[in-house]
Amino acid sequence: MPGLEDLYREIILDHYRTPRNRGELAPPAVMAEGHNPLCGDEITIYAQVENGVLVDVKVSGQGCSISQSSASMMSQAVKGKSLAEIQALVHRFKVMMSIEEDADDAPAVEVKLGDLEALQGVVKFPVRIKCAVLSWNTLLQALENAAQ
Amino acid sequence: MNTTRVDWAAVKADFPVLERMIDGQRLVYLDSANTSQKPNAVIDAMTDFMRNGYAPINRSAYRMAGEATDLFEGARSKMQRFINARSVNEVVFTKNATESINLIAQSWGRANLQAGDVVVLTHMEHHANIVPWHMLVAERGIELRWIPLTEDGQLDLSNLSSLLDGAKILSFTAMSNVLGTITPVKQLCAAAHAAGAIAIVDACQYVPHNVTDVQAWDADFAMFSGHKMVGPSGVGVLWGREELLDAMPPFLGGGNMIGDVRLDGFTTAELPSKFEAGTPPIVEVIGLGAAVDYLSNIGMANIRQHEMQLTEYALSTLSARYGDEIVIHGPRNVEVRGAVLSFAFRDIHPHDISQILDEKNVCVRAGHHCAKPLMKLLGANATARASFYLYNDQTDADALADALDGASDIFGV
């Protein structure tokens, strides 16, 4: 069994204890809710999109250390990025979580995950992958709502 | 309670999976409210049937098919005696308790419920006893009313008569899968009947751990799953009063449930086949029969006694060790609670707790336990839940208490 230290890295616990970008945004910002029916985790993402750029993002909800730290780190990573950059980042994150693969003809875009690399250990605990990915799917839903 | 001495260490040894070592540590299985482990007697009965006698039931003339039918119907008779049903016709095999409740909602419900009719449930129900009724709200426009809870997680019956006023159904759990609370089944059935309603008992958590007597309850329907009572998954039971089952339209249509089929229609078979469309889970029913024998040999009163002592031990051990840092939901009195302990520990999320306990091979459930409305009342979106059964002992409770220390180390609380 992989060690728990692979999962509960210090930077993850730091984001769990002091989550970044907590809160809500008023309209015209859009929101989306995500649930993990397996464990009851709930997350709400608020997104303010202007001219194809995510100018502000907030996270609320409650859940385990993995889902909450992933949301916190994600919010830092995507804030101020263009929608295209965010799509690439989401893809890169999901590749790291081993739930998406790179297409053979994928352009070699350099996407840096930064702190998010700390979540790499989650892959060794397959039941927790859903926790880590919840906020990312919720963000995609929020961006879809913004496009409508 | 009249109990005899049981060698509980020998009982534990009947369950081969409990000998499994992972990373050099023994398995501490505390998730039996979710699903139970299986004794050799059940495993052997199922494999023996598949190796030596597997055949269809009720429809072929050769000897082996006759033997299979006898084994299958023998399991039904065992179950009838186990829950003290009046007749084997009252014991319907389903896929699980969830299917049993859906069967009642769809068959009895559709035949008897109109817009505005009232179904009374409680705040401690499993989703399986909520969603089938929600579906009838959408389809029929029935009204749902809810029995609330007291502070310590028992049913608050102070307004029961007004809640039941004009109701057609009272459907409630005999034992909460989250709080462990054992409800006053007889009293609730009597109150339902006094109001002119039928009483449906979700006995999933009750039957595996207690002496069950559906006639003493004076209930109308009850249901439970085989996999929680040391039997296999894939088979459950619906018990119902024969006169009610007789009057109900069929649920699923197909083979086995018919009397006659013509181009212009069909007639149904007699009970209980009427509600057993298609080839049933033959192997699983035979396994469930072996589970009934196994539990009966130990004695349900003995099992209840064992679990009460174990629950008392676990409650006092955890409280003595962690004081206010652990919050265990549900009643403190083991006379009215089963061996289910849902808890909050320090500020650590249940999902993280179960992950950390898993490192010590302590298996608990984390999540909403398919009871989201109750979770909302508890002010949590999840709890960790340790549940005990006949194969657990005090060393398992100690292992749980010890493993919780590891959670503090990682989260530094």
pLDDT one-digit tens code per residue, A121-138: 999 998 899 999 999 999
Q: Which of B268, B297, B326 is the last residue of a domain?
A: B297
Shared-domain flag, residues B218 and B340 = no
Going B267 to B271 to B273 to B277, the CA torsion angle's sign is positive
> Is A42 in contact with B410 (Cβ distance < 8 A)?
no
- Non-local (6+) Cβ contacts of A138 within 8 A are A32, A33, A34, A43, A44, A45
Query: Which pLDDT value is given to residue B413?
Result: 63
Q: What is the mean pLDDT of residues B122-149?
A: 97
Q: Which of B263, B265, B203 is nearest to B229 (CA)?
A: B203
Q: Is residue B396 part of a domain?
A: yes
**B140-163 pLDDT per residue, tens:** 999 999 999 999 999 999 999 999
Asked if residue B324 and residue B177 are part of one domain, the reply reads no
Q: Does B36 map to a domain?
A: no
- d(CA B104, CA B83) in angstroms, rounded, equals 19
Report the residue of A12, A15, A41 to disrupt the B interface, i.e. the one with the largest count of B CBs within 10 Å.
A41
Q: What is the CATH number of the domain that holds B310?
A: 3.90.1150.10
Nearest chain B Cα to A5, which residue? B410
pLDDT interval class at B406 (50, 70, 90): confident
* Size (chain B), residues: 413
| Domain total of chain A | 1
Query: What are the helix (H) ranges across chain A?
Result: 4-7, 10-17, 65-78, 83-96, 129-147
**A47: pLDDT strictly greater than 90:** yes
User: Is residue B203 over pLDDT 80?
Assistant: yes
pLDDT digits 0-9 by tens, B282-308: 999 999 999 999 999 999 999 999 999
In this prediction, residue B181 carries a pLDDT of 98
Instruction: Determine the pLDDT at residue B273.
Output: 95
Domain that holds residue B21: 8-30+299-411
Out of B22, B351, B368, closest to residue A131 by CB? B351
CATH number at residue A77: 3.90.1010.10
Please indicate whether residue B189 is annotated as part of the active site: no
Q: What is the pLDDT of residues A9-31, one digit of tens each?
A: 989 999 999 999 999 999 989 99
Helix, strand and coil percent figures for chain B, each rounded to 5: 45, 20, 35
> Which tokens go with A21?
């970008």
B180 and B201 fall within a common domain: yes
- pLDDT reported for residue B134: 97
Q: Which of B271, B297, B323 is the last residue of a domain?
A: B297
Query: pTM for the complete prediction?
Result: 0.91
Q: Do B325 and B246 have their domain in common? A: no
Which of residues B245, B263, B297 is at a domain's end?
B297
Q: Is the pLDDT of residue A105 over 80?
A: no
Same structural domain for residues B375 and B330? yes
List the single residue in B22, B349, B367 with the smallest CB-CB distance to A65.
Answer: B349
Across chain B, mean pLDDT equals 95
Contact A38 B367 (CB under 8 A): yes
pLDDT of residue B86: 98
Beta partners for A49? Answer: A54
The radius of gyration computed from the CA coordinates of chain B, to the nearest angstrom, equals: 22
Residue B257, CA distances (Å) to B99, B219, B278, B291 in order: 16, 25, 7, 26
pLDDT tens by residue, B349-364: 999 999 999 999 999 9
The mean pLDDT value for A90-97 works out to: 92
DSSP state, A122? G
Residues in B 348-407 with any Cβ partner in A closer than 8 A: 349-352, 355-356, 359, 366-368, 372, 375, 381-382
**B16 and B65 belong to one structural domain:** no
Q: Does B192 lie in the same domain as B90?
A: yes
Domain identity same for B292 and B307: no
Whether residue B309 sits in one domain with residue B384 = yes
How many separate domains does chain B show?
Answer: 2
Same domain for B19 and B147:
no
B2 is a domain residue: no
B189, B204, B363, B370: the catalytic one is: B370
Hey, what are A90's tokens? 């989401």
Q: CA of B164: how far to CAs of B161, B194, B332, in Å?
A: 5, 9, 28
Residue B289 CB neighbour total at 10 angstroms: 25
Whether A130 and chain B come into contact, CB under 8 Å, resolves to no
**Cis peptide leading into residue B272 (ω within 30°):** yes
Q: What is the pLDDT of residue A13?
A: 92
Would B343 be classed as within a structural domain?
yes
User: Percentage of chain A with pLDDT > 70?
Assistant: 95
Residue B292 shares a structural domain with residue B350 = no
Q: Which domain holds residue A81?
A: 4-147
Q: What CATH code is carried by the domain that includes residue B161? A: 3.40.640.10
Q: Write out chain A residues lying below 8 Å of B22, CB-based.
A: 1
- Whole-angstrom CA distances from B159 to B6, B168, B208, B229, B408 are 43, 17, 31, 34, 43
Q: How confident is the model at residue A109 (pLDDT cuts 50, 70, 90)?
A: low
Classified as helix, coil or strand, B245 is helix
Length of chain A: 148
Tell me: pLDDT of B343 over 90.
Answer: yes
Residues of chain B found within 8 Å of residue A65, distances taken between Cβ atoms: 349, 351-352, 411
More confident residue, A116 or A105: A116
Residue B35, domain member (yes or no): no
Tell me if A39 and B367 make a contact (CB, 8 A cut-off).
yes
ipTM above 0.90, yes or no: no
Instruction: Indicate the residue of B23, B381, B410 with minimum beta-carbon distance to A4.
Output: B410
Q: Please tell me the predicted confidence (pLDDT) of residue B1.
A: 44
> In this complex, is the C-beta atom of A11 within 8 Å of any C-beta atom belonging to chain B?
no
Q: Which residues contact A56 (CB under 8 A, 6 or more apart)?
A: A25, A29, A46, A47, A48, A79
- Residue A103, pLDDT score: 72
Query: What was the pLDDT predicted at B402?
Result: 95
Average pLDDT over residues B161-182: 97
Pair B292, B328 in one domain: no
Angle at A12 between CA A59 and CA A56, to 5 degrees: 25
pLDDT > 70? residue B92: yes
